[in-house]
Structure 1
Amino acid sequence: MSHQLRGASADALAVLTDKLGQVVGSGADASRVADDLFGVSDVLRREPALRRVATDVSVTPEGKAELVRGIFGSQLDAASLDLVTDAVGRRWAATRDLGDALEHLGVVAVVRSAEGAGQADALEDQLFAFERLVSGTPELRDALSDPARSVEDKRGLVRGLLDGKATPATIRLAEQSLAGTHRTVAVALEEYQKVAAAHRDRLVAEVRVARELPEAETQRLAGVLARQYGRPVHLNIVVDPDVIGGIRVEIGDDVIDGTVVSRLDDARRRLAG
């Protein structure tokens, strides 16, 4: 989400997230719902007048629902339309929050589609890998942020990079990262990783090592961290030559640094003191 929802908006999103779970659990196509929610979110951002009416507390929920059905009714799946009409009937702390919440729900719907296909772990791994690629490749970063290039052109570039190498859910979120609702594509991808982890009730750890970790060591580290934090932990492994042995783990604001460099720095500080 491009900013943190608070107050009434956070309450509305929580209720709508539960409803999305019920809708998908009842058999709605999660991928179709995601596309619909992304589409409505995009329209709301482009049409300030519609956004104002849709969040205006002086307009009745019934009136707003009728407006939404008139504009989107023929284009949306029935389950998606039900979610959107419910959303406009709720209170929002700021007009932009409605569009942000619908995008967030769309991301959750994509994650649920990945879960249904048994590809949720792959989605998290691939989002991280693509975010690293974008962040570490100036030419690609510039191409994806170039205002002179159309969004469709940028989507074509993303599909060219990911087709055959990533799951449909990953490609869908990589395309959504181009919508311009976040400061950069990399920030959008980071946000989507957080949404996926939160939906699956997991923490995300970035693990920096000097060499690839064997699978057994990776599983052991995940187990140790899960016991320490009381929740499953998804590991994003980064091979970083600057680590020089050992391991560095970041989980949220926590940093566990067991690298050789860190130990040398500690020794220097003790000697200097």
Structure 2
Amino acid sequence: MARGFRGGSADAVAALDQALAGAVSGSQETAAVVGRELFDVAETLRAEGALRRFLTDGSIASEAKSGLVREVLGPRLRSETLELVATAVIKRWTSTRDLADALEHLSVVASVRSAGAESGRLADELFSFGEAVKHAPELRDALADPARTTAAKASLIEDLLGGKALPSTVALAVRAVASSHRTVAVALHEFQRVASEVHGESVATVRVARPLSDADRTRLADALARQYGRPVHLNLLVDPSVIGGIRVEIGDDVIDGTVSSRLDEATRRLAG
């Protein structure tokens, strides 16, 4: 489930996820366009408070809200996007901001679906770029700088990733700059989570002292899948502080089999 939705909003998002899957099924090109358009609509709703309040007002007839959407947004949206937005505005939303947040979430899901069979690569690229943003102060500051326009930030991302990453990765990285998330890194982390969730996977961050072989990576993924009852996408981080062994973070669970953790535990026992 997408982040932060409760009550009626959670039910609405679940229904819209299913509607989106049907709308873009079988066409990666359609999914890519719908993803971009849904994000544009979300931005419009955040900027136009009066429109947002009208479309989330439970006392206004559904026909009036969907009719306004078709009149105002119809000319600039393809039919699949328009039908999704028209369906969204007649749902019950727990908070007025939930409609825009839901459309942003759907835009990410659509972009994930546009990657088709490359969804695993998409998740890896989002994670790698997120790590680059977190650990490169100049890049992080450039993407967070309020003096830079969104277009300038998008151009920087396209220069860095264009031709090296999937088009869906570039699209989502650009979207992260203007998303409702607190930082670009947080947005990229959430987008990767959604990418895995769309395909029924959990995400595990794995810290190791040195890179794992393909065989070891497969064995670890299989073991975690058996333990958690669903496929697991691995984010691998080489971390010298691990000092042997492996540390796995999946959801709220931490599996720590590193030498450093065992040394720490032994030290605590001796001191106690």
TM-score exceeds 0.5: yes
Aligned to 2:23: 23
Separation in structure 2 between the aligned mates of residue 255 and residue 57 of structure 1, nearest angstrom: 43
- The reply to whether residue 194 of structure 1 matches residue 170 of structure 2 is no
Aligned to 1:80: 81
Q: Is contact 2:221-2:232 (8 Å) kept?
A: yes
Report 1:204-219 matches (<5 A). Answer: 204-219=203-218
Q: Is contact 2:126-2:188 (8 Å) kept?
A: yes
Q: What RMSD in Å do the two structures reach over aligned CA positions?
A: 1.4
Aligned to 1:47: 48
SS in 2 for 1:59: coil
- The reply to whether residue 172 of structure 1 matches residue 171 of structure 2 is yes
The TM-score, its normalising length taken from structure 2, stands at 0.97
Aligned to 2:62: 61
SS in 2 for 1:29: helix
Separation in structure 1 between the aligned mates of residue 135 and residue 205 of structure 2, nearest angstrom: 16
Identify if the C-alpha distance between structure 1 residues 22 and 2 changes in structure 2 by more than 3 Å, giving closer, same or farther.
closer
Q: Is contact 2:93-2:99 (8 Å) kept?
A: yes
Aligned to 1:255: 254
Aligned to 2:13: 13
SS in 2 for 1:213: coil
Q: CA deviation at 1:216?
A: 0.7
Q: Is contact 2:62-2:90 (8 Å) kept?
A: yes
Aligned to 1:224: 223
Amino acid at match of 2:266: A
Q: Is contact 1:206-1:251 (8 Å) kept?
A: yes
Aligned to 1:242: 241
Structure 1 unaligned regions, length at least 5: none
Separation in structure 2 between the aligned mates of residue 156 and residue 2 of structure 1, nearest angstrom: 28
Separation in structure 2 between the aligned mates of residue 97 and residue 142 of structure 1, nearest angstrom: 29
Separation in structure 2 between the aligned mates of residue 187 and residue 217 of structure 1, nearest angstrom: 29
Q: CA deviation at 1:9?
A: 0.6
Aligned to 1:113: 114
Amino acid at match of 2:62: P
Q: Is contact 1:2-1:182 (8 Å) kept?
A: no
Deviations 1:154-179 (A, max 9, x none): 00000011011110110010000011
Q: CA deviation at 1:92?
A: 0.5
Q: CA deviation at 1:271?
A: 2.0
Aligned to 2:123: 124
Structure 1's consecutive aligned runs of 4 or more residues displaced over 3 angstroms after TM superposition are none
Separation in structure 1 between the aligned mates of residue 246 and residue 12 of structure 2, nearest angstrom: 41
Identify if the C-alpha distance between structure 1 residues 210 and 162 changes in structure 2 by more than 3 Å, giving closer, same or farther.
same
Identify if the C-alpha distance between structure 1 residues 2 and 111 changes in structure 2 by more than 3 Å, giving closer, same or farther.
closer
SS in 1 for 2:115: helix
Amino acid at match of 1:143: A
Structure 2 unaligned regions, length at least 5: none
Aligned to 2:265: 266
Amino acid at match of 2:68: L
